[in-house]
A and B are shown apart, each in its own frame.
Chain A
Amino acid sequence: MIPAIVVFIYLAIVLYIGVFAFRKGKNSSEDYFVASRSLGQWVFLLSLFGTNMTAFAILGSSGLTYSRGIGVFGLMASASAIVIPLTIFFIGTRLWSLGKKFGHMTQVSYFRDRWGSSSLGTLIFLVTAVMLVPYIIIGVMGGGEVMESISVVTGADGKAVLVEVMRNGKAVQEHQHWIPYELGGALVALVVMSYVFFGGMRGTAWVNTFQTVLFLGMGAVAVIILSHNIGGFDVVMERIANNKTLAPLLARDRIPQAEFFSYMFIPLSAIMFPHIAIMCFTAEKVSHFKKTVIFYPLCIAAIWLPCVYLGLISADLLPGLKPGETNDVIPDLLTKYTSVWMAGILGAGIMACVMASDSQIMALTTMFTQDIFAHYGGQKRFGDKVQIWTGRIFIVVICLVAYLIAVALKKQEGIFELAIRFAFSGFAALAPVMLGAMFWKRSTALGAWLAVIWVVIAMIGVWWLHNYSEPLIKTLKPGVPYVPIFADLGELFLRGRGGVTIYGFLPVMPMVLIGAVLMVVGSLISRPPPQAIIDKYFPPKNANTGAVTP
């Protein structure tokens, strides 16, 4: 019961932060959706970083390390440590400036104005929204599961009480819980909905900051206590090194070089994630980006290094876990080797990751109200206050729908986890659109159209290939990472345990490169953009660059 109490205290704190942000609000759409572009530099850094710190990334990295070894840090963390700050440095700062000058609050509004195409903006909105929704659903699902796992009913003998339940027509024995999945999911959805509803972007950014600090602080404490209780990490490392089955985890034997190389393209997704791009509009000063890009790689190392390290030692301390069970290695490790209070605080920390979906809810709401409601005349017709209330109603609807799906598809997170993995590739493949808009005067709407349509087609194609080749996994032999999907095509399409690859490279690589080619070709075969647009977005260096009314 103690872990559940700790998590309830945590939920109460984040709710209070949302209400406090509401009191500080100014009741204007710019204030509600981008916090009046007034976030201070530390809140900006920690909330920008916090939006990336999802349960999928944190728990997933330790689970993946358990089965594939330390190379996971290179895949998920150090690649992001260089690529994401570079994109924020070169693109985020410019987005911030354009938002300030021309009143943009989303990338869609920038693309529409940059290329003078309303329909292109609507297409990008739809593609982005479809890729964001799985994050929100999985956030509610994760919330329900965490609440369930920390509220196991124990009998007088201290053992968990078992009850019989029906699963897929079969009677199975499961733990009894104080807070069932459905109630836990509802509680988490309600809390997230409330602080986003009241606090808007300011509330979301403050909660993200609190969550990041909590996770960094608690992570450090947990690692120290754990090291003491297991008798020292060096002892465990020695055991792993001397174990023939586990020793490969100390190197990258289980990660092919082509996969490792192509993973470098994944962090390009960061600047196309609406929650990160919109966050770039919220900084008070452009100078706030300086500390953000310098400290971002260190924050990544501070979060992912313990996660990967704990995933590695779990292989020795928690042997025999199956692929579906490895994502819980950190909670399992701390429950087994630390106190009940530590498990509770960790439950709050995991909840912080799970609730990172608040940024996605806020981003989707901002996009809906700005790129659909306001763009199609709603703001002019009904005014600023109605726009804010439209956003609030949208938040309630999206949370309700996410909750209903989470309940209906209980225990089927795999679908949404897969969708998120595809979404990373999809957002990364949209990066050439942003690069074209930002740095190439000659880029046109046709180039962007072709690149976006390519992303849609490629994602559907890879999804189909993934499902089609699923039965081939059973034919994989030990030491053989991939098997050809179509024998006649040789190694063009390969299937491994991690998914589909193209000549051994992740699909994201050809998706980005072909997207870039289409952006260039489409732009060159169409009429150049009007001079007025070029003058607006690429003013000569000595021209007056003062504020322009949107």
Chain B
Amino acid sequence: MKYLVTAWVVLLIALHQDFWNWPDRSLVGGLIPIGLFYHACYAVAASLTMLLLVKTMWPKHLDEDEAKEAAAAAKNKGAGK
């Protein structure tokens, strides 16, 4: 899964270079130029990608470190009473 997500991140970075939209002046819904619409969607895709990264590649050892520190702090607090 990690390899798939990594490949998707690399692809997403490459998709930033939308050379096919370069000279295109058409408007989406008569309101927004296609190049701007594409990059607005790109930002949404970036957000969803970050969600995917959090779900699949989150550095879990940092959570474990935090839990250990919290447990140690609670223990010290208890011993101090």
Measured CB to CB, the residues of A under 8 A from B are 70-71, 73-74, 77-79, 81-82, 85-86, 89, 93-94, 96-97, 100-101, 233-234, 237-238, 241, 247-248, 250-253, 257, 260-261, 264, 285-287, 290, 293-298, 300-301, 305, 308-309, 312, 541, 545-547
Contacts and interface: CB of A to CB of B under 8 A. Distances in A.
A247 B35 CA distance: 13
Contact of B12 (A82, A96, A257, A298): A82
Contacts of A286: 62-63, 66
Interface residues of B, number: 42
B38 to A, nearest CB: 8
Given A260-B17, A264-B16, A251 B53 contact: no
Contacts of A82: 12-13, 16, 42, 46, 49
25 contacts: A82-B42, A85-B50, A86-B50, A89-B53, A94-B62, A96-B62, A97-B62, A234-B31, A237-B31, A238-B30, A250-B27, A250-B35, A251-B21, A251-B24, A252-B35, A253-B22, A260-B17, A264-B16, A286-B66, A290-B58, A294-B50, A295-B47, A297-B43, A298-B47, A309-B32
B72 interface: yes
Chain B residues touching A, majority SS: helix
A545 B17 contact: no
Given A77-B43, A309-B36, A234 B16 contact: no
A123 B76 CA distance: 40
A297 B46 contact: yes
A296 B44 contact: no
A301 B19 contact: no
B1 to A, nearest CB: 16
B39 A74 contact: yes
A293 B42 contact: no
A290 B54 contact: yes
Contact of A257 (B19, B35, B68): B19
A80 to B, nearest CB: 9
Contacts, number: 134
Nearest to B59: A93
Contact of A81 (B36, B42, B51, B62): B42
A74 B13 CA distance: 12
Contacts of B23: 251-253
B16 to A, nearest CB: 6
Max chain A Cβ within 10 angstroms of own Cβ: one of B12, B35, B43, B63 = B43
B8 to A, nearest CB: 11
A264 B58 contact: no
B13 A101 contact: no
Interface in B34-81: 35-36, 39-40, 42-44, 46-47, 49-51, 53-54, 58-59, 61-66, 68-69, 72
A296 B35 contact: no
Max chain B Cβ within 10 angstroms of own Cβ: one of A78, A238, A248, A541 = A78
